[in-house]
Structure 1
């Protein structure tokens, strides 16, 4: 009996050991002892959790065995511990995470690993990998995670998330702090400003806007800021994702994103982004067909050398939407006179374009102190356009009076190519002099843009002449052919705004003015030096650039002539670490925009003219909160823009120009991005911008707000994900954005203010993610931008997008 008792006791002990309810718990803090909320804790690949408000975590029902306990959090160095669970005893493991300040690249060659609305580093603002909070200038951004949650497909879909940026038209066309956008930048390199198809986001990691004058880094640029699009780069970790989307307006889209290592040593990485779209629009006879093929390769032969190559092939096939016309052209005209779906055109109009660009980047570390960095991009844009569009004026009757219900029309046929090349190269040298830490950048860059031989267009417009031909000149009014009602006969039939019809146009029936576009080219080069000096809690940025802008008249012809304009561009900024998580800053910088060569070299224009130039004073604060999960940037600024070139309106000399006028922009901006809780992400922005004309020969203009520059605008978007219980995996999104009243180019036409609300729900289970988003829930009629009575740009009515994604 005694032996049986011992055997039973032994069996109970063994059974208890096997089925022991062992738990592992601990606390995760930073080096200052503060708990870190939302840190990722992995016991196995399939068993993970997050720390709570007290920074603690807990695993239960852990079996006996060996494990690797891993802890990671954005902005901190990850840690791991090997643990052995060998007896029925609870275990405790604490972690103290240190801030990660390691920057392995000065040129962005390998991809961003974070998966958050928050971005920590920018490369374009200073030519070096610098924390955004350490840059003495406002830098706003939108990450691909926001793209995904808002189901955004084009750049125009996401600018609502950036303070101080407003849509001007349906094209790649915006205002920054009240100033209309100019050139486009990809990976910090200037390319062709398309002013046409909206750029797609399928291969874009993030969109960032460097606010205010950026000429000290990029040369000639507008005073409001520049938009930089950063392409996705390869990751060392294997990842594959596909997504299918359908929605309103017969929208069909699909995207794919594959990345990982090609070899075992992970010295050769790849990424491939693919996208295709076939959809209509809420606008009449408009349609979109497009695709993107974007492979990227990163080669890391040593720890000191990194090389990346991107190739992006994009095709657009649709129509160029010139906007919505409305009745009349006088004060009090009803902006709601025509439906927002109303568009002008013919059924067989088309706009086909191809964009191909490739980027090659190199980063080499000679020593701990010295590195060399270079990037080169070649950008090609091919266009084939055939369209009916408004002539920007209403039809006229036999007395020369406007007919407010009938639109004058014109036809444009255009084929051409534009090519851009941009090379940026610089050295970075790090050195300490006493208690001062220096990061010195010295470099040179070269940019050129040209339109080669072969570009041409044909334009049909105006009214038929009695002796043959056509004219748009009022001086020929008495010679216009007249119809049975005594009204001039148009070369291109007028468009009836009351009873619109869309047909297959006979393009050969029109009379065209044929024109060959002369080859054009401009090139710029600049030399710059910059020093980022750190002392105690202070950081000083001192920079200067000597810029040379060269415009070629009659390019590639025997009478070729080069006109050079140049300017020195300073940049000074100071950052002070007021607390451990808040920096305050101030900056002074300038911008430079050369005058066009046609104006400079036209003796009738009255030149020579000085370049347009501006300066900015800005101050603000940048903070990181909730254990660095959330960033908030506040900026106050003043910009003055001078030497604006306008027509003198001299009847005896229509080419005469005068250089006068001044514009000022001042305001305050706030951007918030990141996570408040581990499962609550948010992006919010607000801007108060007073962009006005302060000097003008036309007294009525003084004090007027600039066009498409609202006084108030802002928005908020958030996503809450359930991480436990029966709703686990369900995500809820809610957002709203508002824009105040805006002036247009017509003194009597103002766009009304608006606010729209979007909401959605998603469900993530295993590797599937299903999303449904409803935009403009209230079906608010609104206009995102506009030129005049003939060209307004309405926003989308209520619409939905439904997508299914799979990650493997």
Structure 2
């Protein structure tokens, strides 16, 4: 599908959505006043916590829906914060009140006044001072006032882009913004601030910097590939809940607000996925207040990357908001002959049709032009003898590039204080092609490698549609948050390739100057279409204030059709699956959550056995227990243990080796520990450890007990920063990062292999200075110039990690 067709479909979809009357509701207002009242948006405040801080207190709000920026006023010693378009929906159905949270603050009360939530904070001698953070969680940072401020105007600072290291809510696990402590699953949230502090550009690089997630393959060193989570490879990334393939090009980070990793089977809400887990990218949305920033990065290997982030209202009444993210990257590499150029633009337009109804249009365009690079090879004994910069291709033949178009339309409507609907459409097209030199077989005589000139044309078109209905209600004393929805998805993969053999390349003394062939032979041509329809139901049940149950299930219907054009052959099959999830959370005391869960996944497998029967979907089954703890005001930890089995894995049919049979089984079990947050004011940390025991448990060809490829038993990571909070050096900060990955097999096919990737420990540091509206930063990656290998592909291809690399950046915010 070409870009004109994408834009045409999106415009048509928007026109259809705009034809929906903005005033549709469950009841028709009898007069103008009632109509206005009905159509006030109502984000729901579901929980309120007060935590002490070094300067005063934090009042933290859990909510369904984003709480908007508040208005403030002062009466005597009382600071009044009014949150518009919001209602109280506390578990006890009442209001919130806490007396004397500190010596200088006499009272904090939260009540509902009409269509707003009012927070009254009473100081002993003067009205307190407050700083408001609206994202990722609405928080009032309160400090006691002084007598001199009592008669002066109180300045309220509202921050909308502050992320922190410990977001307390995520939507990936339940499709609803839910406090992490209430979810019976292991979830890791990577906020934008951690990407900025680490100077990270590639999203997959950012994710694999955290223990338990490693890279599987690298598709020509484009940064694309699959992530291994809990031992199983996943080549699908989700973007705002919609599936996108990250196989062809590295996902862009310029418009990423945060990245959420849900570990374990996720089919109950996301359909056909691998059982290890999913990664969901949450993109930046328009802001109500004007915002603009510019960031410029530059470093070794001729790397430079400017980015722009603009947002704010387009109308005086804030009914139309926008966001625009732009990025450009041009870079060489520590690898000889390798360079990359990337363009990215992502506009978002949000129309608040009424206080209850909104329509959001988003679009992304990415052009990625790297030199295709298959890394280096190992010798037959598994040894690493080549320098990490050695390029084993023919650079003059490279004309390889990828273009990605993505567009989306989201319609949201609030029927009442307790019921709302969300409809979303996503359309994407990934076009990849061009000539490149590639491998054509293995290493010959431990010296020569066979190459070929390939010219590919690959197009992936993806259409997705989702409808979610979310409601809150009670049955007696039991509170429910219900999710009912369905999604449609259609993916068409078209691929054709032609190639011709090239002269052998001496890996020890490569000669790149060759005659370029002019005629290529067709090698492969196929079209695969997958249609999927899923219905899901989920109920988050509060049996007691400290006992919560999560129950959900999904029915999936999939149809696959594959046509192999050159062979004039075709294959089709249909599958159905039911994927349940059950979890329970018990909170014996407020900072502690104990949880247990059971979940399943499915993934269709196209093909036929020797008896011409179609293959059943692969199934994943997981049992997990864990504990979550709030260790301090803004510091939390999660400890999880799991047992995960994947069945219906294809293996050789011993009765007919030309065919496969589904009797294979693989098992992964392990322990994960994650810690994130602020230890002391200015001292942030994200740390993780994962023990992963992933192996083959049944197979007709692979030895039972073989460890799965690219999966290390032990991985650990640490990233911590400290920023001086006061004095002449206020704003000066330091960062330290450690990443340990244990040794792992390069390929499961030769386990116990002589082809293993060695363990490594990489050290990164950062120095930054933050002042007013600007920040200067230097990141040193791989401080000790450790030689290491990120991942392997096949039985002898390895992708080396980058050596010592220094990147500087300057950031301005307006």
Given the alignment, which residue of 775, 782, 799 partners 1:776? 782
Q: Give the 3 Å change call, closer, same or farther, for CA 723–705 of structure 1 in structure 2.
A: same
CA drift at 1:141:
2.1
CA contact (8 A) 1:749 1:788 kept: no
Does the C-alpha gap of structure 1 residues 572 and 234 become closer, same or farther in structure 2, counting only changes over 3 Å? same
What is the aligned partner in structure 2 of residue 687 from structure 1? Answer: 690
Task: State the secondary structure of the residue aligned to 1:259.
Answer: strand
1:120 equivalent to 2:168? Answer yes
> Could you list the per-position Cα deviations for residues 311-347 of structure 1 after superposition, in whole angstroms to 9, with x for gaps in the alignment?
1111001222212113x213xx422x00111221112
Deviation at 1:691, TM superposition (A): 0.5
Match for residue 559 of structure 2 among 550, 565, 571 = 550
Q: Could you say what secondary structure the match of 1:220 adopts?
A: coil
Cα distance, 1:451 vs structure 2: 3.1
Q: Which residue of 1 aligns with 2:274?
A: 222
- CA drift of 1:33 comes to 7.5
How far off its partner does 1:169 sit? 2.4
| Cα distance in 1 between the residues matched to 2:163 and 2:530 | 40
User: Which residue of 2 is the match for residue 707 of structure 1?
Assistant: 709
Task: Report the Cα distance in structure 1 between the residues aligned to 2:320 and 2:525, rounded to whole angstroms.
Answer: 45
- Report the CA distance between 1:83 and its aligned residue: 8.4
SS at structure 2 position matched to 1:655: coil
Quick one: distance in 1 between partners of 2:597 and 2:213?
A: 20
1:801 paired with 2:804, answer no
Change in CA separation of 1:309 and 1:734 when aligned onto 2, cut-off 3 Å = same
Cα distance in structure 2, aligned partners of 1:408 and 1:504: 14
Deviation at 1:595, TM superposition (A): 1.1
* Counterpart check, 1:69 vs 2:129: yes
Instruction: Say if 1:625 and 1:363 are closer, same or farther in 2 by CA, change over 3 A.
Output: farther
Separation (CA, whole Å) in 1 of partners of 2:49 and 2:405: 50
Aligned partner (choices 467, 477, 480) of residue 435 of structure 1: 477
Per the alignment, residue 107 of structure 1 pairs with none
Counterpart selection for 2:409 from 360, 371, 380: 360
Counterpart of 1:174 (choices 215, 224, 227) is: 227
Match of 1:329 in 2: 380
Question: What is residue 98 of structure 1 aligned with on the other side?
Answer: none
Report deviation, 1:303: 2.6
Give the C-alpha shift of residue 505 in structure 1. Answer: 4.9
Note the alpha carbon deviations across 1:758-802, whole angstroms, 9 max, x for none: 111111233221100111111000011112454101111011001
Q: Give TM-score scaled by structure 1 length.
A: 0.80
Seen in structure 2, the aligned counterparts of structure 1 residues 79 and 751 have a Cα distance that, compared at 3 Å, is closer
Q: Which has the higher Rg, Structure 1 or Structure 2?
A: 1
In structure 2, C-alpha distance between the alignment counterparts of 1:79 and 1:682, rounded to whole Å: 20
Q: CA deviation at 1:656?
A: 1.2
User: 1:620, 1:633 within 8 Å by CA — same for their partners in 2?
Assistant: yes
CA distance in 1, matches of 2:164, 2:451: 48
Would you say the 8 A contact 1:155–1:201 is kept in 2? yes
The C-alpha deviation readout for 1:134-162, integer Å capped at 9, x for no partner, is 11111112111011001111112212343
**C-alpha contact 1:310 1:358 (8 A) present in aligned 2:** yes
Structure 2 partner of 1:35: 52
Partners of 2:388 and 2:298 in 1: how far apart? 23
Following TM superposition, by how much is the alpha carbon of 1:34 offset from its aligned partner in structure 2, in angstroms?
5.5
CA distance in 2 between counterparts of 1:501 and 1:38 reads 66
SS at match of 2:196: helix
Question: What corresponds to 1:765 in structure 2?
Answer: 771
- Given the alignment of the two structures, is residue 717 of structure 1 paired with residue 719 of structure 2, yes or no? yes
Residue by residue, what CA displacement relative to the aligned partner does 1:443-468 show, whole Å, maximum 9, x if unpaired? 1101110135xx531022xxxxxxxx
Distance in 2 of aligned mates of 1:57 and 1:354: 59
Q: For residue 90 of structure 2, what is the aligned residue in structure 1? A: none
1:155 pairs, out of 185, 200, 203, with 203
Structure 1 distance, partners of 2:56, 2:50, is: 15
Conservation of the 8 A alpha-carbon contact between 1:340 and 1:794: yes
- In structure 2, the partner of 1:517 is 525
- Quote how far apart the aligned CAs of 1:386 are: 1.4
Match of 2:461 in 1: 419
Query: Cα deviations across residues 492-527 of structure 1 (Å, max 9, x unaligned)?
Result: 21110111122365032x6x3314623321110011
Structure 1 residue aligned with 2:646? 641
Kept after mapping to 2: 8 A contact 1:347/1:504 = no
| Residue in 1 that maps onto 2:730 | 728
* Aligned residue in 2 for 1:409: 451
**Corresponding position of 2:797:** 791
Task: Check 1:40–1:33 CA distance in 2 against 1; reply closer, same or farther (3 A cut).
Answer: closer
In the other structure, the counterpart of 1:78 is 140
Structure 1 unmatched runs, 5+: 1-29, 45-53, 59-65, 96-110, 396-402, 461-490
- Post-superposition Cα deviations, 1:428-447, rounded to whole Å, max 9, x if no partner, equal 12110111001111111011
**Secondary structure of the residue that 2:646 maps to in structure 1?**
strand
Equivalent of 2:498 in 442, 446, 458: 458
Is it true that 1:577 corresponds to 2:583 in the alignment?
no
Distance in 1 of aligned mates of 2:799 and 2:571: 40
- Structure 2 partner of 1:12: none
In structure 2, how many angstroms separate the alpha carbons of the residues matched to 1:132 and 1:31?
Answer: 15
Q: Distance in 2 between matches of 1:666 and 1:716?
A: 23
| TM superposition score normalised by structure 2 | 0.80
Any conservation in 2 of the 1:161–1:684 contact (CA below 8 Å)?
no
1:227 CA drift (Å): 1.1
Cα distance in 2, alignment partners of residues 556 and 529 from structure 1: 40
Corresponding position of 1:143:
191
Residue 677 (structure 2) pairs with residue 671 (structure 1): no
Counterpart secondary structure, 1:158: helix
Task: Report if aligned partners of 1:161, 1:685 keep a CA contact under 8 Å in 2.
Answer: no
Question: How far did 1:172 drift?
Answer: 2.7
Q: Structure 2: how far apart are the matches of 1:422 and 1:528?
A: 16
DSSP 3-state at the match of 2:317? coil
CA distance in 2, matches of 1:771, 1:441: 44
Secondary structure in structure 1 of the residue aligned to 2:268: helix
Cross-structure match for 2:317: 265
- In 1: Cα distance, 2:517 partner to 2:775 partner: 48
What are the superposed Cα offsets for residues 345-384 of structure 1, whole Å, 9 maximum, x if unpaired?
1122132110110121122110122211122110110112
Q: 1:35, CA displacement in angstroms?
A: 2.4
Provide the rounded CA distance (Å) in 1 between the counterparts of 2:569 and 2:395: 43
2:618 aligned residue (612, 615, 619): 612
- Structure 1's 375 and 56: CA in aligned 2 closer, same or farther, altered over 3 A? farther
Residues 562 and 407 (structure 1), Cα distance of their counterparts in 2 relative to 1, 3 Å cut:
closer
Shift of the 228–81 alpha-carbon distance from structure 1 to 2, 3 Å rule, reads closer
- CA offset digits 1:655-689 (Å, max 9, x no partner): 31122221111111111222112211111111011
CA distance in 1 between partners of 2:141 and 2:791 (Å): 50
Aligned equivalents of 1:148 and 1:183: distance in 2?
A: 24
Cα distance in 1 between the residues matched to 2:435 and 2:55 = 55
Aligned partners of 1:197 and 1:316 also within 8 Å: yes
SS at match of 2:446: strand
For 1:467-491, what per-residue CA distance to the aligned partner results, in whole angstroms no more than 9, with x for missing partners?
Answer: xxxxxxxxxxxxxxxxxxxxxxxx4
Instruction: Indicate how the Cα distance of structure 1 residues 538 and 90 shifts in structure 2: closer, same or farther if over 3 A, else same.
Output: same
Q: Retained in 2: the 8 A contact 1:39–1:71?
A: no
Q: Secondary structure at the match of 1:141?
A: strand
- Change in Cα spacing, 1:133 to 1:779, as seen in structure 2 (3 Å) is same
Q: Distance in 1 between matches of 2:316 and 2:425?
A: 29
Offset at residue 200 of structure 1 (A): 1.8
Q: CA deviation at 1:121?
A: 1.9
SS at match of 1:145: helix
**Hey, what does 1:384 align to over in structure 2?**
433
Aligned-pair CA distance for 1:221: 0.7
